[in-house]
Amino acid sequence: MTSKSWIVTLLLSSLHLALGVSNGGIIDDTLLIHPTSILKTIKSEVGEIIDCVDIYKQPAFSHPRLRNHTLQMEPSSYPIGLEPNSTFPSNSSSELNIQSWHKNGDYCPEGSIPILRSLDEDFPKKHTHPLASSTTNSLAPPGFKAEYAVAFLPGSYFYGALGEINVWNPKTLKKELSASQFWVTDGGGKDIDSVEVGWMVTAFTNHPTIFVYWTADGYNTGCYNVRCSGFVQTNRKIALGAFLTPISTYGGEQHLMGIKVYRDGQGNWWVNVLGQNLGYWPPNLFNGGLRGPASLIEWGGEVINSNPQGVHTSTQMGSGHFPSESYSRAAYFKNLQYIVDGGGLEDAKDITGQATRPECYDIQVQKPSREWGSYFYYGGPGLSANCK
């Protein structure tokens, strides 16, 4: 960290201000939240601090391409069957008590959005996406490797994707992450556009959190959640990066998170979790394909492997168990669908599974069923007798 950044960090800590986050570990002081923008502060029982920030003064609007952006509170159009506040049948959470700071019945006031106080290092940097890195990992930094177990669906024109993920708390080593997520991209190449959403565990949180991420230049730069500019948050009830509850138990009750990512009539890419629209990425953030429809969708798990002490990481993916253990023991995605031109939904029947190192983390695509639609099991323990 530079001396300038250290001074900025120290000053902000003393003033109890929220920090801005940039991509490379250096604090960007153009993205800081001014104290007069904070309308309320909430502390959860696990120690999280949530600042309720004026929705018109959120960090998203610091992005140079959004300086004159007009806030859009709702999508201009919905895909067929995805009406406002619709949920999947298996995870209808009407009360939305899904984060620790909700337990006292507290939400941010109207006209504000919740932003978790955190530091850049809480969220390890992403460097690539599954299909680009499955053989070479050419974008990963020295000593680090991205490991994946994903199902993918290439095509011509995708206007969104949806599905359900069961939520776990995999063991995660320092400086690493374990994520289960969607990727909606323009198909690849070194300058890929990608929007991503799911749940993630890092050694800092040691608990699953909801996250969003985007890049417009092949991960040379990229951005988590709302601390950096780009993602426009519209929801006052869900704080990105805050603890997600409840979680699944091995051999016991399973808890699901329904996710929808879709493009509205204005070209904005919206994120919906548990029937709640969280916000959107405006199309002019992107340099390439995501100014229009996507051409590749991926669902699955990602682990950042730092190769600690020269061996494969023991960071777990999903439940930490292989897909062969199946229901209530292995992690899974189900009811996978994609959105076509005109807003119709299609089952993702033609997905293909791929794992970078099946002996460490694997995937098993299942035959579609009436109850679960298109689905797969995935995950693994990392370091083991077969994964070295």
Residue 323 lies in a domain: yes
Domain with residue 134: its CATH number is 2.60.120.200
Does pLDDT of 61 surpass 60?
yes
> Residues 253-268: pLDDT tens digits?
999 999 999 999 999 9
Residue 322 pLDDT greater than 70, yes or no: yes
Query: For residue 150, is it within any domain?
Result: yes
Establish if 321 belongs to a structural domain.
Answer: yes
User: Distance between CA atoms of 141 and 111, rounded to whole angstroms?
Assistant: 41
CA-based angle 39:42:45, to the nearest 5? Answer: 180
363 versus 223: which is more confidently predicted?
363
Query: What is the structure's pLDDT at 127?
Result: 59
Per-residue pLDDT tens over the stretch 201-236:
998 889 999 999 999 988 888 888 876 789 999 999
Q: Which domain holds residue 202?
A: 120-379
Number of domains in the chain: 1
Nearest alpha carbon to residue 272 among 184, 347, 207: 184
- What is the residue type of 145? K
Question: Could you give the 3-state DSSP secondary structure of residue 324?
Answer: helix
**C-beta pairs of 310-313 under 8 Å, 24+ apart in sequence:** 311/383, 311/388, 312/357, 312/360, 312/382, 312/383, 312/387, 312/388, 313/173, 313/176, 313/382, 313/383
pLDDT at 311 over 60: yes
Residue of higher predicted confidence among 133 and 322: 322
pLDDT at 32: 64
Asked, for residue 102, whether it belongs to a domain, the answer is: no
On whether residue 92 sits in a domain, the answer given is no
Cα separation, 308 vs 241, whole angstroms: 25
Report pLDDT digits (tens) over 68-122. Answer: 999 999 999 999 887 766 666 565 444 457 898 987 778 899 999 999 987 554 5
302, 325, 346, 371: the active-site residue: 302
| Phi and psi torsions of 170, nearest 5° | -65, 145
More reliable by pLDDT, 337 or 342: 337
What is residue 214's predicted lDDT score, i.e. its pLDDT? 93
Annotated active-site residue 74? The verdict is no
C-beta atoms surrounding 308 within 10 Å: 16
Other CB atoms within 10 Å distance of the CB of residue 210:
25
The closest of 247, 229, 231, 219 to 98, measured between CA atoms, is 247
pLDDT band of 309, cuts 50, 70, 90: confident
Is residue 176 within 8 A of residue 313, CB to CB? The reply is: yes
- Phi then psi dihedrals of residue 22, to 5 deg: -110, -175
pLDDT tops 70 at residue 45: yes
**Selected catalytic residue, list 48, 176, 196, 298:** 196
Whether 240 is in a domain gets the answer yes
For residue 175, what pLDDT is reported?
Answer: 86
Q: For residues 281 and 46, which has the higher predicted lDDT (pLDDT)?
A: 281
Polymer length in residues for the chain: 388
Is the pTM higher than 0.85? The answer reads yes
Confidence tier at 13 by pLDDT (50, 70, 90): very low
Active site residue 302: yes
pLDDT band at 30 (very low <50, low <70, confident <90, very high): very low
Taking residues 131-152, what's their average pLDDT?
Answer: 62
pLDDT of residue 125: 62
Whether 214 is covered by a domain: the verdict is yes
With a pLDDT cut of 90, the percent of the chain lying above it is 62
- Percent of the chain at pLDDT > 70 equals 81
